[in-house]
Amino acid sequence: MTQLARKLRITDYFCLGWGTMIGVGWLVVMDDWLLRGGTLGGILGFAIGGILLLPIGYVYGKLVMAMPDAGGEVAYTARVFPRPVSFYTGWMMMLAYFIVCPWEAVAVGRIAGYIFPALNSIELYRVAGKPVYLPHLVIGLALTALVTVVNYRGIRLSATFQNWSTFGTLALFVVFVAIGVTRGSPANFPPLFTHTPFLSILLVLQIVPYYMTGYESVTKAAEEANPQFRAQGFSRAIFAAIVVGAAFYVIVIAAVGFVAPWRTMTGLPFMTAVAFEHAVGSRWIVSVILSAALLSLFKVFNGNFVAASRILFAMGRRGLVDGRLGSVHPRNQTPAAAVASLGVATALCMFLGTAILVPISEVGSVACATGWFAVCVAYLWMKPRMADRLIALAGALVGLAMILMKLMPFVPGSFSGWEWLALAIWIILGTVVSRNVVRPNPLRKTD
């Protein structure tokens, strides 16, 4: 049987983990973040969220060293739980990664329309009152095709693409923040909280799982490590992704709050770019920010595409979904069928337009928190040493809290009807495609 290509190094794993986490939310929906919590509420929400994820990252690091399997959560839960638990854990994590792909494909059209206003034309239809423009659709579909082809051709090409876009984003981020903050003032920070301090932080914490999802994507490429790669490198890449990711969000929120009176700019498209343009008084800094955003968009699209395709591939290999999705291309050594299927699904979801942006954040948060919770509980079931049990218990409680604060109707900021509908549709769809969960294929090895 053809195996996945083994070509990844620790730099590749960091770029996959951090790159999959940091997209263009800091540009596209910054006003939503600040309206939820204010400047200090946003800063504390992401800082606390990053700290809370460390025990979960620790558990992932332990498990991937013991079980370097592309299935990640699917493999870990399969070790101790029945097949349906393994399937639905993988299915929810599949949603967490997959849902980012059309998000980014839609966002690239919005960014292009901001740079070239003429692209905001030829309205085809509206979804939830928001227009879908033909040029936006064409650009998003072209990006989807590019990412699909890159991943179809080979993991080394995909990793190189990821590395350049990751370090390019970091370099441009340092440039525009360093220049922008020289023109700001602490007087621009207020209001520090948009509600009470506790509620402001809570409303931001609710979306942290979605925007911090990605560090665990390291586990999905575990089978593609270079033969000389040391297993401890997985944990290092995971922790580095969490710490650098949380720091990135904290810095960009603080910078936007510092450079301009942000409250007067909420509702404007690409508030982050507008705030820096206001501070510097020149359009060139907007070009730097949008360049960083485009690079960030490419890498987060690619990273989530890698993670989602590997989960789909691993589920197919185990007979949890159609077995053809578990095939490996004989020459490229990539999960070709899973990659192609994901590309088609992303293209179809793009037709929903910009109306999907904020609701996707909400549903994606619950999806990834569900996977984190299941992995920590599975690790507890394996009965590791006492110190590791306490860390896993802490991770499980964090994951459960992140789920409940979106599902409990009495918690401010919990799911609306549309988000419940989207989650229900995904679960029903999973039930339809999971025929083999109840009736396992006796010819297929499942562990």
Comparison of pLDDT for 440 and 98, the residue scoring more: 98
pLDDT level of residue 385 (50, 70, 90 thresholds)? very high
Burial 388-412, CB ≥16 within 10 A → b, else e: beebbebbbebbbebbebbeeeeee
- Tell me the C-alpha distance between 211 and 191, whole Å: 23
Q: Are 334 and 150 in contact, with CB atoms under 8 Å apart?
A: no
Q: Are 367 and 95 in contact, with CB atoms under 8 Å apart?
A: yes
Angle between helices 271-280 and 30-66 (to 10 degrees): 120
Model confidence pLDDT, tens digit, residues 49-90: 999 999 999 999 999 999 999 999 999 999 999 999 999 999
Instruction: Of 238, 168, 222, give the one whose Cα is nearest residue 17.
Output: 238
Can you give the pLDDT at residue 337?
94
Model confidence pLDDT, tens digit, residues 401-446: 989 988 888 888 788 887 888 888 889 988 888 764 444 444 344 4
Taking residues 101-124, what's their average pLDDT? 86
Model confidence pLDDT, tens digit, residues 299-316: 999 999 999 999 999 999
Phi then psi dihedrals of residue 120, to 5 deg: -85, 60
- Tell me the C-alpha distance between 279 and 110, whole Å: 23
Model confidence pLDDT, tens digit, residues 221-242: 999 999 999 999 999 999 999 9
Write down the mean pLDDT value for the chain. 89
Can you give the pLDDT at residue 356?
65
Can you give the pLDDT at residue 301?
92
Kindly list the domain boundaries of the chain, sorted by start residue: 10-368+403-438
Using CA atoms, how far residue 310 sits from 151, 175, 301, in Å, is 11, 35, 14
Can you give the pLDDT at residue 435?
61
Model confidence pLDDT, tens digit, residues 123-156: 888 887 788 889 999 999 999 999 999 999 988 8
Q: Are 434 and 318 in contact, with CB atoms under 8 Å apart?
A: no
Single pTM value for the model: 0.89
Question: Domain 10-368+403-438: what homologous superfamily?
Answer: Amino acid/polyamine transporter I (1.20.1740.10)
Q: Are 176 and 276 in contact, with CB atoms under 8 Å apart?
A: yes
Which residue in the block uniquely carries the two structure tokens 């460390």? 54
Q: How many CB atoms lie within 10 A of CB 277?
A: 20
> Peptide bond before 117: cis, by omega within 30 degrees of 0?
no
Using CA atoms, how far residue 173 sits from 345, 367, 375, 404, 439, in Å, is 31, 29, 33, 34, 51
Can you give the pLDDT at residue 308?
94
Provide CB contacts within 8 A for 420, sequence distance 6+.
none
Q: Are 346 and 95 in contact, with CB atoms under 8 Å apart?
A: no
Provide CB contacts within 8 A for 59, sequence distance 6+.
375, 376, 379, 388, 391, 392, 395
Q: Are 77 and 71 in contact, with CB atoms under 8 Å apart?
A: no
Q: Are 76 and 67 in contact, with CB atoms under 8 Å apart?
A: yes
Q: Could you tell me which residues are beta bridge partners of residue 196? A: none
Counting residues of the chain whose pLDDT is more than 90, the rounded percentage is 56
Q: Calculate the CA 331 to chain-centre distance.
A: 29
Can you give the pLDDT at residue 359?
66
Q: Calculate the CA 95 to chain-centre distance.
A: 10
Model confidence pLDDT, tens digit, residues 355-374: 766 666 678 888 999 999 99
Model confidence pLDDT, tens digit, residues 200-224: 999 999 888 888 888 999 999 999 9
